[in-house]
Amino acid sequence: MWKEAQINIFYLYLAARSTMITVLAGGTGSAKFVRGLSKIVPTDEITIISNVGDNVELLGLYICPDIDTIMYLFAGLLDQRRGWGVANDTFKALNMLREYGFETWFKLGDKDLATHIQRTFLLKQGKTLSEVTEVLCRSLGVRAKIIPSSNSKIETKILTRKGKIHFQEFWVKRKAKDRVLAVIYEGIEQAEPSPGVIESILEADKIFFSPANPVTSIGPIINVPGVKNALIETKATVVAITPIIGKAPVSGPAGKLMKGLGYDVSPLGVAQIYSDLIDVFVLDTVDARLKSKIEQLGIKCIATSTLMANLVDEKRLAREILEHI
């Protein structure tokens, strides 16, 4: 009798329990997918595991471009045209920093600067990056959970013929003009997943590899020790959305990086990188001919329009994927 009641309560709990969605995210491309998703499912059911490999310290300020992009998105502050930074921001401080000789290749808006100042201040007080992220998100009214992949320092470095340079220098300063010889996630072997990363993978119903650079956005997340195992163990459906349509990424330097590492710059190349970890791959209809090759990897393949030019596209893509998995 008691046991029966307990079982009933358990089933009631399961039915009432909301769908938990976990998204592995980089910057711009991820933000588009996440925005669409957030219009379809309640934001408090969404957990974002954010890339930290792009983080960079400039002028003593600790900057987390990918965390900020997603945080600004949920806070309704993201500059949607640029895909980064705060909408309607100004650059007065940056212009003054130029007077002081600062190389202003990294664009820091005035409002954005406040985030970096506050984050750096809280980190210096001894808080971890995930604690700081939680504080900042709460201040901005963000209801989704944004977790940095790790509180350890992981820095994505690009080996070029000129030597090893930080990803931000490769991409933002030098506009990805150097040939890529290797990509190193510095510090990743010693890194630990931050609190909640493994749980959010194991306990999720659905996990998305958002459309992001597989080398420098998703790579530094899935290579944090323990993350791949959790992705294999989880009962969640794991879905990757292609960041590449045809032969080129929708945004960012993924093509250059994949080519440099010997991958095929195509949805197939991305599916091959993820093949051990995902159940479903979403590619664009223009690449539908690759479906069978991807299915040969043991991955279910969905072909649809993946280009997200506006919120209508973003919502449609998120809804379509949720319906098909």
Q: Using CB under 8 A as the criterion, which residues of the chain lie in contact with its own copies when the complex forms?
A: 59-61, 86, 89-90, 92-97, 99-102, 109-115, 117-118, 120-121, 124, 136, 139-140
Strands of 18-102 (E only): list them.
21-25, 46-50, 56-58, 61-63
Least Å from the CB of residue 256 to its own copies: 31
Can you tell me the distance from the alpha carbon of 128 to that of 108, in angstroms, rounded to the nearest whole number? 23
Among residues 210, 325, 318, 224, the alpha carbon closest in space to that of 279 is found at 325
Nearer to its own copies, 109 or 253 (CB): 109
Least Å from the CB of residue 133 to its own copies: 12
Nearer to its own copies, 60 or 262 (CB): 60
3-state SS assignment for residue 96: helix
Nearer to its own copies, 93 or 184 (CB): 93
Least Å from the CB of residue 245 to its own copies: 36
Can you tell me the distance from the alpha carbon of 227 to that of 154, in angstroms, rounded to the nearest whole number? 14
Question: Which residue in this structure is represented by tokens 């190389």?
Answer: 103
Least Å from the CB of residue 100 to its own copies: 4
Nearer to its own copies, 138 or 179 (CB): 138
Nearer to its own copies, 45 or 68 (CB): 68
Can you tell me the distance from the alpha carbon of 278 to that of 325, in angstroms, rounded to the nearest whole number? 12
Least Å from the CB of residue 142 to its own copies: 12
CA-CA-CA-CA torsion sign (186, 192, 194, 200): positive
